[in-house]
Structure 1
Amino acid sequence: MNRKKKTLQLTAVSAALLSIVAAGCSNNSNPSGASSSPAQTGTASVKPEAAEVKYPASLTYWVQLNANAAAIMKTYNEMAAYKEIEKKTGTKVEFQHPPAGQEKDQFNIMMASGNLPDVIEYNFGTTVGLSAAQSPDALIKGKQILRLNELIDRHAPNLSKVLKEHPEFRKMITTDEGNIYVMPFLLGDEQLSVVYGPVFRKDWLDKLNLKVPTTIPEWETVLTAFRDKDPNGNGKPDEIPFFMSLTADFDVNHLLVGAWGITTDFYNDKGKIKYGPIQPEFKEFLATLARWYKNGLIDKDYATITDSKLKDNKIINNQVGAYSGFAGAGLGRYLTLVQPTNPSFSLVGAPYPTVKEGGPKPLGQYTMPFTGYGAAISAKAKNPEQIIKWLDYKYGQEGHMLINFGIEGESYKMENGYPKYTDLIMNNPDKLPISQAMAKYFQSGWSGPYVQDKRVIEQYYTIPAQREAQKTWAQADHAKQMPSIALNADESAKSTSIMNDVKTYRDEMFNKFVMGAEPIENFDKFVQTMKSMGIEEAIKVRQAALDRYLNRK
């Protein structure tokens, strides 16, 4: 497949991973002692000036309108949580939502024009492809957004308390130059960081008396049985043992390749940057996929399938034995869609496989607690002290409960100290899907300037198989996950030109190796070609960026 489209697909997947619950439905989500920290946040001691600051009478706020919200409202002003926040703070917010699909272009136009709102909520991290000139430090130097360190210390007691309790969060939200640039979206628990993984047809496994595979050899045994033993029972050899999705499976989630302790991109090996495709283990990974493809264990059309509806059709039509997906959209949704007409249809989350039994833990999908998403304050804002206080409201106890659970007595009720969603959310009388019912009342189904509470996803996963899958996937190794490092202007210029060529070449050769058009014996030549393209220089600049990140205070 020509995977030049892959960069855009990867951005979409990364963005989806930013909201766990949305991920469960389709999305940031993801991640440290969550409910206890944000949900119990109280008032910290601050300088006397903070007590004198009042909430702003009004403010302008630029932010993408989440798709689930867009299905039922035109602006976040219609959300119950924001209506209540307006009552509590007295602040009237004029939300400005860019047209769907045009967020990046509109962001660029807005920043270039200098006609800025008071608050800009966006993903300022590297995953959205911001140029060095658009980096948070550059935007602060260019007097487009404000450095927030002192404003947070003096006027944001709730976020200050969270950062004090979680010093790792402060490191993540601070740039190499020491700037805090957003009121951040933070995943409040490790449980929120893992939402994606391998899924198998449990009824097929049971029918063939097979166990859920845990190693690469066991995967091969199970997939071979799916191919040969007619588990769908229609008498036709039409089963697709493994539906392989290039971007999601490998680049984002490290499926299979993580068994060898590497990734298909850069990773952090105990403080040392490495690039997976030039490692010797990558050859073994490619050889395994090539053998599977040759033997009919992988969907023969994997390289040309980019439409998620095609995947849906093959799974729903009883053809696919294994794939990877979200616990929500990739497991719970299929169970809900198929079981009414095929009651025996069942799915199980499988562990990320090891190379062999007793081998090292494999790598798996993991989203860092902070990925660059949050609310920046424009340098044009006339009352930043009041705005920061308004934004800080959602990091306190009252605001945290509103943004994560909505209105007590309506969208949730407290049961033994646990905020349990009511039927307005879980069994909406207007037949709204859970994700849209949530959006009607609160924001915790997607990213925003607040701490996401793990009790959201605990309830969003209504099916036991979803909860069990999440626990299974969480057992993978996440130590090699790359933090949100930042390249400076010179590093970015060097790296961009190199990686554009390297990624294009990597993607083309990946398919040639897997499909047998290129013999695996040419792997060393493949590595040497990438080195001639400058991959070692790209590693070098990322090493410098990682060193700076690790030295942040």
Structure 2
Amino acid sequence: MGKNKKKFLSLLMVSTLAISMVTACSNSNNEPASSASSSASTDGTASQAPVNSTAFEDISADIRGNTAPTQEQIDLVNNSLNDTYLADMFDTKLPTDYSAYPYKKDVTLDVWVPATSDVPDWNKHIVQQQVQKLTGIKVNFISPPVGQEADNFTLMISSGNLPDIIMDPGRYPGGVAAGVTDGAYQDLTDLMEKYAPNYSAWRNSEEMRRKTTITDDGKLLGFYGLAPYSEWMWFGMLIKQEALDKTGMEIPTTVEEWHQFLLKAKEVGYSEPLNYGSTYGQIFTGIINGAFGVWDWTFQDANGKVQWGPAQPQAKDYLATMAQWNKEGLLNKDWATADFNQRMAEAVSDKTAVMMDSPDTMWSYWKQQNNIDFVGALNPVLNEGDKAQTTYKNWMVTGMNAAVTTQADDVEAAMRFLDFSYTKKGWELLNYGLYGNYHLVDENGKPYFQADSYIYKDPDGAPVASTLLKYRNHNWPDIRDEHNANPNIVAEGSYSGDIRKYWTENMDTSVAMPPITFTQDEASREAELGSQLSTLRGEYFAKIIMGQLPVDAYDKFLQEAKNMGLDEFLSLHQAALDRYNQR
């Protein structure tokens, strides 16, 4: 550890300077070396570490279709690595190599991970407590207060005193690759097959997963959240059904139809019909602006060349349209500043007819809490018959990623801990929580949240938006099963998943950029230019839409963007895209 630390500290000055600038395949009959069994409390939590067993007994008959399991059955499922009762639900079988568990050494890993309002202390998270018991690897989670993650990360890196594992390691200036070059993170390329057989099997089982988890030069620098499929798009135009009923209009498709619908909605009583955006990312999301080809950020044109959305020819038309809508009072007055809570309060009020948001979120706020039905609309187009487009595409990489630092005392233990999340048992536990009060298993071997699950009926009264984080892991380096294990999607009567699927299947994603990576030198420059261009775009576009600047001010904006280094910014992205395509 001392040797690694000395190496890291010798390169720390470069990183500290950068920080100051940025400060911003299942087999039910397999026989692993060990299984487990122990006692558990009545709520499904384990109370003892698992003990060894020589093989898995098939317990499918006792667990599948059982709606009232005994405490002994609950204990067996939760406190054993036995996965014989679970079905193979995907085209690729989930990995089942449990030979490393329980881990052979007594070790405690320090893991830095951001907290949330629903998970303020990961050391108390029921799923992560169970992972430790099943793997035999103890973990001490280190989390800064919510909202202080960036400063805390900067101080941690600057101090040169690193934990064993860092979740969300891309916070490092220049990204994970820069962290490896500087001696902060481990290059895991030569260790993955040996110490992470489940992750290796899963990422290599599909070309998209393989391609999105390596660097341009073929290195493996961390563990990524990897889905069994490309997840449905999650954000778009949502309309209250009552607004359609009151206006007597159909779901709009073109920009002009949207204009007429919003005017009519205002006429029938919705004083601020379109909840347009906020400071957390919804101002320029490729929804309305996408109709004009004015995407938020970078995209691929028809020739596979990288372009910058705000610099596209029809940008002035887009800005003129939104400035008119704003002048007509069709947008929420606080669209440039409203936070999440403000937007949700407005959403359930009589002022709002349309939200630009996630159907999962609005299922909770509109339907569950206020009995407001809603429908999803495709992104607007300019001309009738045009196909809606989006720059969003899920590349099977999802959730959070993790890196092992050069100061890890036991690199194998760190990798074995992370690798468990890519086993079949890990998939069940992290996606569905513990067996019993949190989920059951149907007659076909598929886990599900029963009606009286704590996910839906929390003893503390927490809503599903909180329990999906409280009793399961929603954003983690694992095999995330969003379509089957997101409680909002699979809730009885929910149609949020139907909307997301409809959007995904009916929009063109050819403009979407894949998850490219930059070299260390490129990353520093890209971050600098990107920050400047983002600020410039935000200031000009917002002021033009609010009427504080004329539409013709766009010409000055575009010239400033070019003077700022737009061409260089695009060349960096093009080089990275070309390398990605060669992986």
Q: Secondary structure at the match of 2:416?
A: helix
Q: Which residue of 2 aligns with 1:329?
A: 361
Mark the runs of 5 or more structure 1 residues left unpaired by the alignment: 1-10, 13-33, 45-49, 233-238, 340-344
- Residue deviations 1:300-320 (CA, integer Å, cap 9, x gap): 4433x3333332333322111
Q: Secondary structure at the match of 1:161?
A: helix
Q: Which residue of 1 aligns with 2:236?
A: 197
Kept in 2, the 8 Å contact 1:62–1:95? The answer is yes
CA distance 1:278–1:161, change in 2 (3 Å): same
Kept in 1, the 8 Å contact 2:163–2:408? The answer is yes
Q: CA deviation at 1:449?
A: 4.1
Larger relative contact order, structure 1 or 2 (CA cutoff 8 Å, min sep 6): 1
- Between 1:367-376 and 1:51-60, the stretch displaced more is 51-60
Tell me which of 507, 511, 522 is aligned to 2:542.
Answer: 511
CA distance 1:248–1:81, change in 2 (3 Å): closer
For residues 392 and 413 of structure 1, the distance between their equivalents in structure 2, rounded to whole angstroms, comes to 24
Q: Which residue of 2 aligns with 1:121?
A: 167
Residue type of the partner of 2:457? N
Q: Which residue of 1 aligns with 2:439?
A: 412
Q: CA deviation at 1:396?
A: 0.9
For residues 114 and 517 of structure 1, the distance between their equivalents in structure 2, rounded to whole angstroms, comes to 47
Kept in 2, the 8 Å contact 1:251–1:263? The answer is no
Mark the runs of 5 or more structure 2 residues left unpaired by the alignment: 1-22, 25-87
CA distance 1:55–1:330, change in 2 (3 Å): farther
Q: CA deviation at 1:279?
A: 1.0
Structure 1 residue 104 corresponds to structure 2 residue 158? no
Larger relative helix fraction:
1
Q: Which residue of 2 aligns with 1:288?
A: 321
Q: Which residue of 1 aligns with 2:449?
A: 421
Kept in 2, the 8 Å contact 1:406–1:441? The answer is yes
Tell me which of 432, 438, 457 is aligned to 2:486.
Answer: 457
Q: Which residue of 1 aligns with 2:257?
A: 218
**1:300-315 superposed matches below 5 A:** 300-303=333-336, 305-315=337-347
Q: Which residue of 1 aligns with 2:82?
A: none
For residues 498 and 87 of structure 1, the distance between their equivalents in structure 2, rounded to whole angstroms, comes to 46
- Residue deviations 1:160-218 (CA, integer Å, cap 9, x gap): 1111211222221212343211111123332x342221111211211221111122121
Q: CA deviation at 1:108?
A: 2.1
TM-score, normalised with respect to structure 1: 0.81
CA distance 1:89–1:144, change in 2 (3 Å): same
For residues 163 and 301 of structure 1, the distance between their equivalents in structure 2, rounded to whole angstroms, comes to 44
Residue type of the partner of 1:109? L
- Residue deviations 1:335-366 (CA, integer Å, cap 9, x gap): 23323xxxxx4322222122121113321544
Structure 1 residue 57 corresponds to structure 2 residue 90? no
Kept in 1, the 8 Å contact 2:391–2:511? The answer is no
For residues 282 and 412 of structure 1, the distance between their equivalents in structure 2, rounded to whole angstroms, comes to 49
For residues 353 and 145 of structure 1, the distance between their equivalents in structure 2, rounded to whole angstroms, comes to 44
Q: Which residue of 1 aligns with 2:296?
A: 264
Kept in 1, the 8 Å contact 2:540–2:554? The answer is no
Structure 1 residue 472 corresponds to structure 2 residue 512? no
Kept in 2, the 8 Å contact 1:189–1:453? The answer is no
For residues 107 and 249 of structure 1, the distance between their equivalents in structure 2, rounded to whole angstroms, comes to 22
**1:138-157 superposed matches below 5 A:** 138-157=178-197
For residues 437 and 181 of structure 1, the distance between their equivalents in structure 2, rounded to whole angstroms, comes to 32
Q: CA deviation at 1:225?
A: 0.6
CA distance 1:412–1:337, change in 2 (3 Å): closer
For residues 52 and 68 of structure 1, the distance between their equivalents in structure 2, rounded to whole angstroms, comes to 30
Q: CA deviation at 1:455?
A: 1.0
Q: CA deviation at 1:524?
A: 3.9
RMSD, aligned α-carbons: 2.9
Structure 1 residue 397 corresponds to structure 2 residue 418? no
For residues 314 and 374 of structure 1, the distance between their equivalents in structure 2, rounded to whole angstroms, comes to 34
- Between 1:345-354 and 1:495-504, the stretch displaced more is 495-504
CA distance 1:95–1:252, change in 2 (3 Å): farther
Kept in 2, the 8 Å contact 1:198–1:324? The answer is yes
Q: How many residues align?
A: 491
For residues 218 and 492 of structure 1, the distance between their equivalents in structure 2, rounded to whole angstroms, comes to 42
CA distance 1:485–1:372, change in 2 (3 Å): farther
